[in-house]
Structure 1
Amino acid sequence: MSKKVSKPEANFAAQSQTEGDEQPKPEMNPDDLQQDASQESTSAGEPSLNPPEAGIFAEGDMQATAWFNSKKVTGVWASNNNKNAYLHIHGVGWVKLNDANADSVHAMYLMGCVARQENRNVNYRKENDNKIHEIYVW
Structure 2
Amino acid sequence: MLLPRLRVHLRRRTLASPPSEPVALGDLVLDEIARRCTLHGVDVPLRPKEFELLALLGRHAGEAVSHETLMAEIWDENWFGSTKTLDVNMAGLRRRRTTAAKSSPRPARLPQITTLRGHGYRLEQEHG
Same fold (TM > 0.5): no
More strand by proportion, 1 or 2?
Answer: 1
Using the size of structure 2 for normalisation, the TM-score is 0.28
Using the size of structure 1 for normalisation, the TM-score is 0.27
More helix by proportion, 1 or 2?
Answer: 2
Asked which structure has the greater RCO (Cα within 8 Å, sep 6+), the reply is 2
